[in-house]
Amino acid sequence: MAQLCSLIPDLDVRYLSPATMTEFFRRLMTRPRIVGGVERNGVKPSTIATYRSYLSQFFRWLESRGELASNPFKTMPVPHVHFTDRKYLERATVERIFSALLLNTRWESRFLRTRNLAIFATLLYTGVRRGELLGIHVTDVDLRRLELSVRGETSKSRLRRVVPIASSLCHALEDYLEERGRLGLRCPSVFVSKGGDSPLTSSGLKHLTEEVKRVSGQRFHVHQFRHTFAVNFLNRGGDVAKLRQLMGHTDIRMTSLYLRCLPISSLRPSIENLTLDTLL
């Protein structure tokens, strides 16, 4: 809503119309913005679809309260979005990344080694987004109940969710939190900066990722761990409804896109089970 008010400063929600929203998306597509120090125009179709989804939910709420005559999106077609950036990391790549995390002699202390391992283990075994990862507090980690809480204010859905902690992740978190405790760190964020006195920032995570890429010799980006989690969850027999809850999606159609990423080899066992004897 803030972006809508920014691009349409004279907006009056009582008179929202399809024409208003068309103008908003036109301005969104043409506004200049700085990305990586370079001025760019336009946004991805997926970004347009995301804005539409969030705004439509808000407009429906306004309509239910009688503050908006009609949701302007009712007569506007839903944009067709083809998601191409769903590439997951293959096992060999993940193994090289974690080998680099374990063996890199550039980590200056056991604290940094355990922190870095815990960061990438959390990404791999929970599928949290980068912002969600950085927003986790110490109090959000419950190793007794094996649960990790993702804060609503850091999630795209703005909803809090709880993700189970797998045993592989539990060991990494235990080691890191033990080191944190030994150093007597008081920062509320679970993942802290190199000095340990402040939260790890987006820039800090980017710097760490670049170092891991250099040492491991692998090309990847942080968000690919989210794709890797989703595809492997489905590959191991997890269903889309459960994955939706784990990923924090508001629309199951977004979750279903990961089904397209499953390798053909993972589908073969199900096909082999189709025989005359198994038909309904």
pLDDT in the model for residue 270: 73
pTM: 0.72
Beta-carbon count within 10 A of 115 CB? 26
Of 1-5, 129-133, 263-267, which one has max mean pLDDT? 129-133
Mean pLDDT (whole number) for 149-165: 91
Q: In this model, does residue 105 exceed pLDDT 80?
A: no
Within the chain, all domains assigned CATH 1.10.443.10 are found at 91-232
Q: In this model, does residue 70 exceed pLDDT 60?
A: yes
50 vs 239 pLDDT, higher one: 239
Beta-carbon count within 10 A of 29 CB? 12
pLDDT band at 163 (very low <50, low <70, confident <90, very high): very high
121 vs 51 pLDDT, higher one: 121
Q: In this model, does residue 166 exceed pLDDT 70?
A: yes
Of 155-159, 161-165, 252-256, which one has max mean pLDDT? 161-165
Mean pLDDT (whole number) for 113-123: 97
Cα separation, 148 vs 134, whole angstroms? 13
pLDDT in the model for residue 37: 58
- In percent, the amount of the chain with pLDDT more than 90 equals 49
pLDDT band at 156 (very low <50, low <70, confident <90, very high): confident
pLDDT band at 85 (very low <50, low <70, confident <90, very high): very low
Render pLDDT for 17-27 as a digit per residue (tens, 0 to 9): 888 888 888 88
Instruction: Output the CATH code of domain 91-232.
Output: 1.10.443.10
